Structure 1
Amino acid sequence: MFAIVTIAGQQFKVEEGQEIFVHRLEAKAGDSVSFDTVHLTSGDAGTTVGTPNVSGAGIGATVIDHVKGDKVVIFKKKRRKGYRKKNGHRQQFTKIKIDSITV
C-alpha cells in the first residue's frame, strides 16, 4: 500500500516502513507526528483519489533525527569589474519513518 501526502509543503509518495527526508519539522527526535493531507491512497482494495484530500485518511510517522543537507555554493562574478560574491547554504532536514497508513 502506498499514499501520496503533503508534508511541509512538498508531496511525497510514501509506503509503510519507508524513511524519508522532509523539510525541518518542529518536533523532537523520537516524537510521533501525523499528517492528514493525503491526496491518493492505493492498496489491495483499490485506488482512492481525493478532491483534493482523501477524507478520513492519515499518515502516522516517527521523527528519527534532524540533519543538514549538502552544502550548496553560490558564486557570482562579473569579469573585469572586480565583482565577486561567494555565498553558501545548507538546508535543514528531518528524517522520518512512516509507521502507518490509515484509510
Structure 2
Amino acid sequence: MFAIVTIAGQQFKVVEGQEIFVHRLEASAGDSVSFDNVHFTSGDAGTSIGTPNVSGASIGATIIDHVKGDKVIVFKKKRRKGYRVKNGHRQSYTKIKIDSVTV
C-alpha cells in the first residue's frame, strides 16, 4: 500500500517502512508524528482519491534524526564593475521513517 501525502509543504509518495528526508520539522529525534493531509491511497482494498484529502486516512512516522544537506554556493557577479558576492547555504532536513499508512 502506498499513499501521497503533504509533509511540510511538499508532496511525497510514501510506503510503509520507507525513510525520507523532509524539510525540518519542529520535533525532537525519536518522537512519533502523524500526517493527515493524505491526497491519494492505493492498496489491496482499491484506490481512494481525496477532494482534496482522503477522509480518515493518516500516516504515522517516527523522527530519526535532524541533518543538513549539501552546501550550495551562491555566486553573484556583475562584469566590469568589480562586484562579486559569494555565499553558501545548507538546508536543514529531518529524516523520518514511515511506520504506518492507515485508511
Aligned residue for 1:53?
A: 53
Question: Which sections of structure 2, spanning at least 5 residues, go unmatched?
Answer: none
Runs of 4+, deviation exceeding 4 Å: none
Post-superposition offset of 1:70: 0.5
Aligned residue for 1:87?
A: 87
Question: Which sections of structure 1, spanning at least 5 residues, go unmatched?
Answer: none
> What letter is aligned with 1:71?
K
Aligned residue for 1:21?
A: 21
Q: Secondary structure at the match of 2:87?
A: strand
- Give me the identity figure in percent: 86
**C-alpha separation in 1, matches of 2:100 and 2:91:** 27
TM-align CA RMSD: 0.4
Post-superposition offset of 1:78: 1.2
TM-score, normalisation: structure 2? 0.99
Post-superposition offset of 1:47: 0.6
**C-alpha separation in 2, matches of 1:61 and 1:26:** 14
Aligned residue for 2:68?
A: 68
TM-score, normalisation: structure 1? 0.99
Structure 1 stretch 76-85 or stretch 58-67: which is displaced more? Answer: 76-85
Q: Secondary structure at the match of 1:80?
A: coil
Post-superposition offset of 1:26: 0.5
Instruction: Report the count of equivalent residues.
Output: 103
